[in-house]
Structure 1
Amino acid sequence: MSWGCGLCALLAGGALLVLLLLRWLRADGDLTVLWAEWRGKKPENELRGKVVWVTGASSGIGEELAYQLSKIGALLAISARREDELERVKKKCLQISNLSDKEILVLRLDLTDRSSHEAATNSVLKHFGKIDVLVNNGGRSQRSLFVDTNLDVFSAIMELNYLGTISLTKHVLNHMIERRRGKIVTVSSVMGIMGAPLASGYCASKHALQGFFNSLRTELTDYPEISIINICPGPVQSKIIQNVFTEKLDKSIENSGDQSHKMPTERCVQLTLVSTANDLKEAWISDQPYLAVCYLWQYAPTWAWWLMNRMGKRRIENFKSGVDADASYSRKKK
């Protein structure tokens, strides 16, 4: 009887491991994110009625954040440089939610104009009286080889993605320290964990954000109700390619390529809100193979570099031939 029970337990354990492996192969988030989605706090319970300030809200992840937050009843301040696009986003938010006009504040903001950040923060506080969540989403990506890229491009990337983000954070954090509570959510990237060709400046800015916010978190131990949350998405369907930095500041990419192979923006935002509701310190949100490479980068970085080097060659070949750089090794969507 004991041998039979042992064999059954072994088979059951093996079957469970196989199921877990199959689930992980189809995963689009790290283990803590998926667990939080299954058993954790729900965004609609945790964020309803909260004042959430989203930067970069005129397109992509920021725009979708505005839509999903409005549906669950969060009060919104939405910012970007293009005020007309923000008005478009606000109009749709009002159509799909029960929010009133006064519960969505459109606030034009240029992250590179650091002298304006204190006034912008005061405008949100004057309108709502508080800021519960700041979502640092504003920024631009890059598509250019380092050897071809002017140094002023790298300066512009750091000014926008890094310095602009921490400048705004500083003003909002002062308010959160006074209240002794709040959440600062920063949309970083899996490129803030590892590296990739054609994006050396972008990767540098995201590594800088990771280092900064991981350090800031340790400085806030006297404020346990203030959460520092880093979101690291992989490739996501958006118009980000149309607005990337290239080798020259005045040059853009005309063709954004096929986006169907990338993670849908809606899913990325769903997991971002799950991470926010559950105060996850860092969340990896990506389809395979990026998710697998993130794990490999943590535990076997030399092997991960070898794999990324092979993938990177194809990425550069695609770029030079006018194909979307991520197309060849992102999982196809059905």
Structure 2
Amino acid sequence: MSFLEFLLLLLVLYYVVYVLLWILLDCNVALWYKSRFGVSLSSMRGQVVWITGASSGIGRALALSLARHGVKLVLSARRLEQLEQVQEECLAAARGLLATKDVLVIQMDMLDLDEHKTHLNTVLNHFHRLDVLVNNAGRSQRASWTEVEIEVDRELFELDVFAVVHLSRLVVRYFVEQNGGRGHIAATSSIAGFSPVPFSPTYCAAKHALNAYLLSLKVEMRKLDVSLFAPGPIATDFLQEAFTGSQGGKVGLSTANQKRMTAQRCGDLFAVALANKMDLTWCGLFPVNLLAYCARNPTLSKILAQLMTEKTLNKIREGKL
């Protein structure tokens, strides 16, 4: 075997192994590697992390993952009672690493932009610092493209994009004034943010827009860390409040008995992405992880479009395959 043939063989083996990992893992390869050999979550001990939409689902799971390693937390959402329950769970999970004053609860409506500055001041007055903002609050959607009312498009973008951008700008200005531009902005995006799925047109567009906003921020401010975490189907109550195509409508569906990643596994992976300051990561059970990789490659994306109907893609997204 010639040296060139040997190199070609190594290249083929590399891609074979990589594709196998796409199939076997529940997240992208880089995130899996960091979860095993990357920076430990204990490196974040003592940092202050603000999580919006922390009363349930991925936000709650992320808070618990960070609390176990002594990360100080700001938990915000509209539902105060649920937030206080998450606060108690975080203190229990911390096992003495956190005191009650280390987990701050703020009742907050992301759509009330006029109050964003006040909430940021509350965080800074309490902790005298902020290290990471995690924009997790948001809603999904289930609706046919042709049936979505334009008011729904506007409402979803207001919550999933514009409210996030507004709060992030305030925090970035704080990072610039206090830390010379150093800080960490993160957001819960979605695999739908780079791989469109059927029957969620406004949600897909909103996540694409959010990704573009934050990635352009990273290009503009090189000292700033920006993390986009894109989950696939997760076992949460996300669909209960999801938009439909009609103004005021809610899907109101349960994800019970569907093939979905657990919220806690998702939260653990999100925490790893934050600790390692990774720019774009994703997670999802097979075949979601494989499809996410294919969507990142234009050629594979075209092949995928030929092989799978919108019904098949929707079943995968809904955890029915």
TM-score (norm. length: structure 1): 0.86
Contact 2:23 2:289 in 1 (8 A): no
Question: What residue is the counterpart of 2:274 in the other structure?
Answer: 276
Q: Distance in 1 between matches of 2:9 and 2:206?
A: 48
Question: What residue is the counterpart of 2:140 in the other structure?
Answer: 141
Question: What residue is the counterpart of 1:306 in the other structure?
Answer: 306
Deviation at residue 171 of structure 1 after TM alignment = 0.7
Deviation at residue 9 of structure 1 after TM alignment = 11
Deviation at residue 111 of structure 1 after TM alignment = 1.0
Q: Distance in 2 between matches of 1:8 and 1:190?
A: 36
Question: What residue is the counterpart of 1:55 in the other structure?
Answer: 52
Amino acid paired to 1:326: E
Deviation at residue 176 of structure 1 after TM alignment = 1.1
Cα-to-partner distance string for 1:26-80 (whole Å, 9 max, x where unaligned): 11111221221222111122x1110000000011000111111111101110001
Cα-to-partner distance string for 1:102-126 (whole Å, 9 max, x where unaligned): 1111001111111111111111001
Deviation at residue 250 of structure 1 after TM alignment = 2.4
Gaps of 5+ in 1: 319-323, 330-334
Q: Distance in 2 between matches of 1:158 and 1:127?
A: 31
Deviation at residue 291 of structure 1 after TM alignment = 2.0
For the structure 1 residues 22 and 154, does the alpha-carbon distance in structure 2 shift closer, same or farther, using more than 3 Å as the test?
A: same
Q: Distance in 1 between matches of 2:296 and 2:66?
A: 32
List aligned pairs for 1:1-334, cutoff 5 A: 21-45=19-43, 47-97=44-94, 98=96, 99-178=98-177, 179-180=179-180, 181-221=182-222, 224=223, 226-299=224-297, 300=299, 301-308=301-308, 310=309, 312-314=310-312, 326-329=318-321
Task: Report the 3-state secondary structure (helix = DSSP H, G, I; strand = E; otherwise coil) of the residue aligned with 1:209.
Answer: helix
Which structure has the higher relative contact order (CA within 8 Å, separation 6+)?
2
Contact 1:29 1:284 in 2 (8 A): yes
Cα-to-partner distance string for 1:165-215 (whole Å, 9 max, x where unaligned): 000001111111121321111110000001111110101110000111111
- Aligned CA RMSD, in angstroms, stands at 2.5
Question: How many residues were matched structurally?
Answer: 314
Contact 2:233 2:317 in 1 (8 A): no
Amino acid paired to 2:256: D
Task: Report the 3-state secondary structure (helix = DSSP H, G, I; strand = E; otherwise coil) of the residue aligned with 1:140.
Answer: coil
Higher mean alpha-carbon deviation, 288-297 vs 136-145, is at: 288-297
For the structure 1 residues 209 and 12, does the alpha-carbon distance in structure 2 shift closer, same or farther, using more than 3 Å as the test?
A: closer
Which structure has the greater CA radius of gyration?
Answer: 1
TM-score (norm. length: structure 2): 0.90
Deviation at residue 12 of structure 1 after TM alignment = 9.5
